[in-house]
Amino acid sequence: MDHLFEKTIKTTPIYQGKVIDLQVDDVTLPNGKKSKREIVKHPGAVAILPITKEGKLVLVRQYRKALDKVIVEIPAGKLERGEEPDAAARRELEEETGYRSEKLHYLISFYTSPGFADELIHLYECADLEKGQGALDADEFLDVLEVTLEEAEQMIRDQTIYDAKTAFAVQYMKLKEVGRT
């Protein structure tokens, strides 16, 4: 697939942040022309589709500074340095919702914005939730909601749910539901 590849001539670091780094790569395109690629480096993240014993979906409502908006999402968070994705999924679920479960089931991983970022999200399903012992993380500012599949679908229509991983998770839940009937 050499007719698709770009060759890196030079990498220029622009910014090293707490969550992301930015670099600009000078590249040679497959036709020999030169171009530049703006690339955001991200440590990767996990997201969890948590289902209560009553079959409800647990969601978090939070403010997202990048959007200047409050939206509702499945619990998620970035990987700590050296942390395994399944450990991160258990940690984020409990920190954000107070729930825990032994039944953690890996579903899928996907890049969120392959055009400019390398963020990879690992998505897990977590069933038969139990209330954990710990207090919620004091540095997380969020509300925990428990909704039915129908309520989640309505939240997609009215843009209360407004992000890719959560829309994927709701559709996944719907597919399981349809498969069951």
The greatest distance separating any two alpha carbons of the chain, rounded to the nearest whole angstrom, comes to 59
**Three-state DSSP state, 83:** coil
Q: Could you identify the residue written with the tokens 């107070």?
A: 98
Window 96-115: contact mask with a copy of itself (x via CB under 8 A)? ------------xxxxxxxx
Q: Is 37 in the site for a copy of itself (CB under 8 A)?
A: yes
Query: Smaller CB distance to a copy of itself: residue 77 or 101?
Result: 77
Length of the chain measured in residues: 181
- List Cα–Cα distances, 155 to 36, 53, 69, 104, 137, in angstroms: 39, 22, 15, 25, 26
Minimum Å gap between C-beta 94 and a copy of itself is 19
**Residue 68: φ, ψ to 5°:** 50, 50
Minimum Å gap between C-beta 81 and a copy of itself is 17
Q: Is 54 in the site for a copy of itself (CB under 8 A)?
A: no
Residue 172: count other Cβ atoms within 10 Å of its Cβ: 15
Site for a copy of itself in 131-160 (CB under 8 A): 138, 141-143, 156, 159
Q: Is 14 in the site for a copy of itself (CB under 8 A)?
A: yes
Q: Is 56 in the site for a copy of itself (CB under 8 A)?
A: no
Residue 72: count other Cβ atoms within 10 Å of its Cβ: 21
Distance CA 109, CA 154 (A): 25
Site residues (vs a copy of itself, CB under 8 A): 1, 3-6, 8, 14-15, 17-20, 22, 24-25, 27, 29-31, 36-40, 42, 45, 61-67, 70-71, 73, 76, 78, 108-119, 121, 138, 141-143, 156, 159, 162-168, 171-172, 174-175, 178-179
